[in-house]
Amino acid sequence: MTTGARTMTLNMGPQHPATHGVLRVVLELDGETIISATPHLGYLHTGIEKTAENKLYYKVVPMTDRMDYLAPMSNNLGYVLAVEKLLGIEIPEKVKYARVLLTELTRLNSHLVWLGTHAIDIGAMSMLLYTFREREMLLDVYEAVSGQRMMSTYFRIGGLAYDLPPDFDRKIKKILRVFPQKMKDYENLLSSNRIWIKRLTGVGKLTARQVLDLSVTGPILRSTGVKYDVRKAKPYSGYEKFDFDIPVGENGDCYDRYLVRMEEMRQSLRIMKQALDGMPEGPYKADVPGVVLPPKEKVLSEMEAMIFHFKIITEGFKVPAGSYYQAIESPKGELGYYIVSDGSTRPYRMRVRPPSFINLQTLDPMVRGRLVADVVTCIGSIDIVLGEVDR
Amino acid sequence: MEQAEITKAESELLGALKDRFGDRITGHGKFADQLSIFITDDIVFDLAEFMKEDAHTGFELLSDICGVDWIKCPEMRFELVYNFYSIAKSLRVLVKTTIPDSEKPSIRSIQPIYPGADWLEREMYDMLGIEFEGHPDLRRIITPEGMDGWPHRKDFPLTYEVPQFTHNKDKPPEIIK
């Protein structure tokens, strides 16, 4: 070792258990202090945006699940809302309520995985087992409504894939009953746990100004005290009818982000309860011939319905030329779908504003000047899904 | 596409922009609740500065940058859509500009004003091959370094695989369109 400053380059990932997938971070170290952290992306790049340009509008929906695979319904919702806006079709009230209920369920799902993996990164092994136990209940609902536990593809352009199942109420009521108690258990384990507090407080601290400059949204922005939530700012799918609060933090560190997400889960339960209580009766999809598939029993008995069914499946439907950017509040932040239509049956361009991708930019400012162990905390706290980062 | 009515906040913004930039604001349109403003490509940097710093505007969040390849009109082939959002006014504005087709299509980077544009511009460079002048670190971000071609351009075939090995460099696999 010669005299003078020397730095060491440490490669972390892509196969590293604490990077939540295939994220590779190249760390520049001075001793154990981090000088800079450079994420290298693209290991999961599948070209979903490009593939979407070559698919009929309704065939894009299953691909949106594969981006943020922990929040499939949020991704479905963003896409179908954007296309519905371009088509200018009205959605039945029941569908709106069901969509709100299920996207809030998705938020619980995503936050549970975040909590479990974040805690296991810090060393709290048991949290992962508890959160995945509760996640089973949520996945059961997914399975009941769509037949799939993870890639649900339940929302369709103009409505839902199927009607809600008969025991849907019972399943949701069970979640509403059981979940608050489990949340208390989590908080008993973590909120006042000395190790948890020491590893999180003051780590990855950002100011509101820094976060806004980096275009970051979601719980990271709210933990710095900025009250921005798309559900309140630009309500979609009938969110203006629901009564809920937006939790905000003060310090913008990992501990505040933890508190914000925990409170968000409580608010999600509140919205779910309102949606379940206020769910109106009605059809589960809009009646728009030529765009939305007719009900199956009509297809089997009426000539016209059968022709529409056949035409939609084989040649799709035309969407008026134009472009629209639809933002929704996904569990990770503002998820946007910008769809450009040239009047044909396929999207001319589909751009996804991926919250994980943009939020990952905060990793470098968060970890500068801190120790290697804090990188793991910060990655967990940003809450990324690599499927969405790389698309 | 039918034109929706322009709100007060939006007309104030349009007025402020027209005062500052004159005829380089080439037009505007509104679809549903979304205002689009069309500009020439030389004022992108100044406009971004104006959008962020000026008291009339105050768009603190650059939500997104999206590039669209309009291959059929070479004189305005690449459309860039800058998506600004103001939290205080809860107003979203899409600013659209076009770049003509050339060997090296380029536009000024707005990264010095909105640091969050860093990765967004890198992604657009990676996918569409648009050079952002003044970007501090313009490298490919998602596809591997040294890759040939720009995947989101419309003339990049869907099923084409870039030859990975030296032995078939001279005879690349057939393109299936």
Domain boundaries, chain A: 45-390
> Measured between CB atoms, does A313 come within 8 Å of chain B?
no
What is the maximum alpha-carbon separation in chain B? 64
Chain A residues with CB under 8 Å of B1 CB are 320-322
Q: What is the mean pLDDT of residues A55-72?
A: 90
Chain A closest CA to B40's CA: distance in Å? 19
- Average predicted confidence (pLDDT) for chain A: 89
Task: Yes or no: say if A109 and A71 are a contact pair by the CB < 8 Å rule.
Answer: yes
Give the mean pLDDT of A120-129: 87
Asked whether residue B177 carries a pLDDT value surpassing 60, the answer given is no
Q: Quick one: pLDDT band at residue B3, thresholds 50, 70, 90?
A: low
* A45-390 placed in CATH 3.40.50.11540: no
> A185 vs chain B: nearest CA distance in angstroms?
36
Question: CA of A53: how far to CAs of A315, A342, B33, in Å?
Answer: 15, 11, 25
How do residues A267-300 score in pLDDT, each as one tens digit?
A: 999 999 999 998 898 888 888 888 888 888 888 9
User: What dihedral do alpha carbons A349, A341, A83, A161 form, nearest 10°?
Assistant: -80
pLDDT in tens, B121-134: 999 999 998 999 88
Least confident of A36-50, A69-83, A178-192, B150-164: B150-164
pLDDT at A373 over 90: no
Residue with tokens 């690599």: A386
Please determine, for residue A1, whether its predicted confidence score (pLDDT) is greater than 50.
no
Using DSSP, state whether A222 is helix, strand or coil. helix
The pLDDT of A78-105, averaged and rounded, is 91
Q: Which residues of B touch A324 (CB under 8 A)?
A: 31-32, 34
How many beta-carbon pairs under 8 angstroms link A with B? Answer: 94
Task: Give chain A's count of helices (H) and strands (E).
Answer: 17, 8
Q: How many CA atoms lie within 13 A of A212 on its CB side?
A: 19
B8-168 under CATH 3.30.420.40, yes or no: no
Please, which pLDDT band fits residue A172 given cuts at 50, 70 and 90?
A: very high
Whether the complex's predicted ipTM surpasses the cut of 0.90? no
Residue to substitute from A67, A217, A349, interface B, most B β-carbons within 10 A? A349
- Do the chains contact at B68 and A349, CB–CB below 8 Å? yes
pLDDT confidence of residue B168: 59
pLDDT tens digits for range A299-335: 899 898 899 899 999 988 899 988 999 999 999 999 9
Smallest CA–CA separation between A158 and chain B, in Å?
18
pLDDT at A12 over 60: yes
Which residue type occupies A131?
A: T
How far apart are alpha carbons B58 and B16 in whole angstroms?
12
Residue A19, pLDDT score: 72
B-chain residue closest to A44, CA distance? B142
Written as one letter, the residue type at B144 is P
pLDDT tens, B74-105? 888 899 999 999 888 888 899 999 998 888 88
Question: How does residue A260 score in pLDDT terms, banded at 50, 70 and 90?
Answer: very high
Contacts 24+ apart (CB under 8 A), A191-198: A191/A259, A191/A262, A193/A124, A195/A122, A195/A123, A195/A124, A196/A119, A196/A122, A196/A124, A197/A255
A148-154: average pLDDT: 88
Residue with tokens 């087992």: A129
What integer is the mean pLDDT of A235-244? 89
Measure the CA–CA gap between B32 and A218, rounded to whole angstroms: 25
Residue A348 tokens, joined? 């001319």
Question: What letter represents residue B73's amino acid?
Answer: C
Q: Give the three-class secondary structure for B36.
A: strand
Q: Which of B119, B125, B137, B161 is best to mutate for the A interface (most A CBs within 10 A)?
A: B119
Contact A93, A100 (CB under 8 A): no
B133: distance to nearest CA of chain A, Å? 19
**Is the per-residue pLDDT at B170 higher than 80?**
no
CB contact under 8 A, A215 and B61: yes
The pLDDT score that the predictor gives to residue A268 is 92
Question: Dihedrals φ, ψ of A127, to 5°?
Answer: -55, -40
- pLDDT value, residue A95: 92
Rounded Cα distance, A320 and A87, in Å: 6
Q: Please report where in the chains the tokens 């609060």 appear, as a residue.
A: A245
Which positions in chain A touch B158 (Cβ < 8 Å)?
A: 50-51, 54
Interface touch B115/A214, C-beta < 8 Å:
yes
Q: Find, in chain A, the residue whose alpha carbon is nearest to that of B128.
A: A50
State the CB neighbour count (10 A cutoff) for residue A107: 25
Which residues are bridge partners to B96 per DSSP?
Answer: B38, B81
pLDDT beyond 60 at A3: no
Torsion angles phi and psi, residue A240, rounded to 5: -65, -15
Outline where A72-202 has alpha helix (H): 72-87, 93-122, 125-146, 168-190, 194-200
User: Could you tell me the two tokens for B167?
Assistant: 């032995």
Residues A373-380 have a mean pLDDT of 88
User: Does residue A336 belong to the interface with chain B, where contact is any CB pair within 8 Å?
Assistant: yes
